[in-house]
Amino acid sequence: MSTDLPVVRLRPKGEARAIRHGFPWVYVDELVLDRRTKAIAPGTMAVLEDDARRPLALVTVNPNSKIICRVMDRNAEAVIDRAWLVEKIARAAQMRDRLFGAPFYRLIHAEADGLPGVIIDRFGDVAVIQPNAAWAEAMIEDLSGALVEVTGVKTVIKNGSGRARTLEGLPEEMVTLQGGVDAPVAVQMNGATYMADVMGGQKTGLFYDQRPNHAFAAALSKEARVLDVFSHVGGFALAALAGGARSALSVDGSASALDLAEQGAKAMGMAEKFSTRKGDAFVTLEALAAEGAEYDVVICDPPAFAPAKPALQAGLRAYERVARLAAPLVAKGGYLVLCSCSHAADLSNFRAASTRGIGKAGRSSQLLHTGFAGADHPMLPQLAESGYLKSLFFRLD
């Protein structure tokens, strides 16, 4: 075992068995918190031992986080350096390049790809890194260098924003680490063209996780009138138009996101079939019902209403409300697609909330299909949080 690394130790009732079986986190109440451990600088590598002083793994430590340790390597003698990062990124890239015909995908999906707390989305020659753990913040130059070495991207952007960084005690900042970009990046996906604002948009600029669900919705949308609520840059709406929809309306609270959606529709030659409406989603759904609007396919893909357990019940009520307000807008025999990206709301809870909402709207339904994130968002089997996305496809009578 390396002698130059600090040692941290599980309490007697700590989850040593879970760590041995592949669980990647140690919570703060599971670790011995002596003065030495509390003084470890965030992002420092350490050897994790069980209560019998047997090494379990090499971990990164952040005393400022409820997830105080993240497993970096099951080998406690591993060296976390640029070569180690190159190996992890190369392994991830090999799988994506086998599955996708163009380099537009999520390249690194945090723990599921062996880089805890790190998200990397690739947009051709541009890559966006979200270093949502203290170790990645400390090693950002090595991380960026390894990324360029493996992929050959010309521009690397660090997107240091979001709730995950706040929980790690990290500051918010947007930094261009290499190259530069001065316009949205055009992304081809499911026959649609999306404009990703990698410098100022939500998350990394585009949501790749819904790719297979966009495709399924597009198959339902031939000759259909489509409503896409919480549309962002036109996710489901533009996929529907590529799939042969008669028309598509995108609703979102962000004028800049809707502008990017319009640019995408124009690039596809679909501008005449596409329209937007800026406004609060709940208010707009009620207004559309009052106007007597009707659609063959209605999709609601909201932000996470239940990002953590304390918000679960309020989040489930919000999902129920979405379903209740959206269902009356669906034509008889039409389709309603309801999505959740909430970690805390599992599939069973989300499905129950959605079906309650549909029932309260006076509609009966069939559940046709349940969709999840694409293969560029792999799931770590031991970590339920890595499989966050759920998409339910209903047919309404």
CA dist., res. 17 & res. 33, Å (int)? 20
- Compute the distance between CA of residue 292 and CA of residue 157 in angstroms, rounded to an integer: 45
Predicted confidence (pLDDT) at residue 269 exceeds the cutoff of 80 = yes
Q: Looking at residue 3, what is its pLDDT?
A: 58
Per-residue pLDDT at 201: 67
Both tokens of residue 119? 């998200």
Q: What is the predicted pLDDT for the residue at 331?
A: 98
Distance CA(362)–CA(392), nearest Å, equals 18
Average pLDDT over all residues of the chain:
95
Tens of pLDDT, residues 311-357: 999 999 999 999 999 999 999 999 999 999 998 999 999 999 999 99
Nearest CA among 342, 343, 351 for reference residue 323: 351
pLDDT score for 247: 98
| First CA to last CA distance, the chain | 64
User: DSSP label at 23?
Assistant: -
pLDDT at residue 155, rounded to an integer: 98
Tell me the pLDDT tens digit for each residue of 146-174: 999 999 999 999 998 888 888 888 999 99
CA–CA distance, 301 with 232 (Å, rounded to integer): 9
Interatomic CA distance for residues 245 and 296, integer angstroms: 10
Assess if CATH 3.40.50.150 describes domain 185-396: yes
Per DSSP, the residues of 112-157 read: GGT-TTEEEEEETTEEEEEE-SHHHHHTHHHHHHHHHHHH--SEEE
- In angstroms, the CA 106 to CA 209 distance is 8
**Sequence ranges of the domains in the chain:** 7-73, 82-178, 185-396
pLDDT at 204: 85
Residues 183-221: pLDDT tens digits? 999 999 999 999 999 998 677 889 999 999 999 999 999
Q: Are strands 225-229 and 295-300 parallel, antiparallel or unpaired?
A: parallel
Report the share of the chain in percent with pLDDT over 70: 99
pLDDT tops 90 at residue 14: no
Answer yes or no: are the C-beta atoms of 96 and 51 closer than 8 Å. no
Residue whose tokens read 């998200």: 119
**Tokens 């669900």, located at residue:** 213
Predicted pLDDT of residue 386? 85
| DSSP structural state of residue 170 | P
Of 227, 204, 203, residue with least CA distance to 217: 227
Average pLDDT over residues 300-312: 94
Q: Given this model, what pLDDT does residue 385 score? A: 84
3-state secondary structure at position 37: helix
CA distance 222 to 73: 48
For the structural domain made of 82-178, what CATH number should be given?
3.30.750.80
DSSP 53: S
Question: Does the active-site annotation cover 69?
Answer: no
Whether the CB-CB separation of 117 and 110 falls below 8 Å is answered with yes
State pLDDT tens for residues 77-122. 999 999 999 999 999 999 999 999 999 999 999 999 999 999 999 9
**What's domain 7-73's architecture?**
Roll (2.30)
Residue 9's pLDDT band (cuts 50, 70, 90): very high
The confidence score (pLDDT) of residue 99 equals 96
Residue 71, CA atoms < 13 Å, CB-side half-sphere: 26
| Model confidence at 1: pLDDT above 50 | no
Closest residue by Cα to residue 136 from 207, 202, 195, 84? 84
Q: How many CB atoms lie within 10 A of CB 281?
A: 20
